[in-house]
Amino acid sequence: MKNVGFIGLGNMGMPMAKNMMAEGYVVTGFNRSKGKEQGFSEVGGKVGYSVAQLAETEDVICLCLPKPEDVERMVLGEDGILNHAKEGLYIVDFSTISPKLAEHLYQVCHQRNIHFVDAPVSGGTTGAEAGTLTVMVGGEKEVFSQLYSLFKSVGEQIFHTGAAGSGTKVKLLNQYMVGMHTLAVAEGVGLAEQSGVDPELVYEILSQSFAQSKLYDRHYPNFIAKDQFDGGFAIELLFKDLDLVREMAEESDTPLTIGRQVTSQFEQAAHSDLKKKDMSAMYKFINKQ
């Protein structure tokens, strides 16, 4: 399975597609913004094919799209993958969608002898570029095994999480904690400044203490200390994920007391001028309103 169609050449998808090519896969890219396709072509990728053509010709189609509705349209739309898929096609969704949608896509594809797995990733753009992502795969174990080499081309930590939708559930738990940790860093750094303590000193000490976290190590030196919040993972996208967490909690009748407060803060920020800034910009939203 060396012929791969990759739909969604954004901040995550582009480096992932490049890493697949570096491992010997022949990758054809598709993106709504044709400028992205041009950039992919310049690094050796194939372009110029419709979604329908990819479904008819490729062994595997990967999706890396920002919203659940984008994924649903690409798979189930009139000009989408399923209406044109050859029998035995593999579909890998690297996006973060809802567990319910992942389960539905699996069922619909399974009825057509199409193999679908939800395989959301964690590690951000840095991990995507370095090929060190964590990949959480929900679906049939046999299909996971058949696609393992593909997953290894983009990630280091590859996990089969269980049935379809389970990879998405694990990813949403990750995003839930990312949201909480991001607000903890934002408020903690703000409190240090307002209390007259050097935030650089605080970071030096706490990064060697129990307060250390990957989010603190990411947000403070790379964004907050530089007062630079462009690129990275947008606040509005993390809010989208937190809203999916809310749906997941409601469906399982699990109260998330702290989660409601976290999601509310991100919802407000997602409707502010900071919405397209990196999630670390919650520091500015919390402390500079």
Q: What residue type is 200 in one-letter code?
A: E
User: Which positions ≥6 away from 180 have C-beta within 8 Å?
Assistant: 258, 259, 262
What crossing angle do the helices spanning 199-206 and 166-194 adopt, rounded to 10°?
130
Name the token pair of 104. Answer: 């539905």
Name the active-site residue from 46, 169, 171, 240: 171
Kindly report the length of the chain.
Answer: 289
Whether 171 is a known active-site residue: answer yes
Cβ 119 vs Cβ 136: under 8 Å: yes
Look up residue 36 and give its two tokens.
Answer: 């992205």
Helix, strand, coil percent content, the chain, rounded in steps of 5: 55, 15, 30
Per the structure block, which two tokens stand in for 205?
A: 């000490």
Q: Are 24 and 46 in contact (CB under 8 A)?
A: no
The answer to whether the beta carbons of residues 260 and 226 sit under 8 Å apart is no
Residues carrying an active site annotation: 171
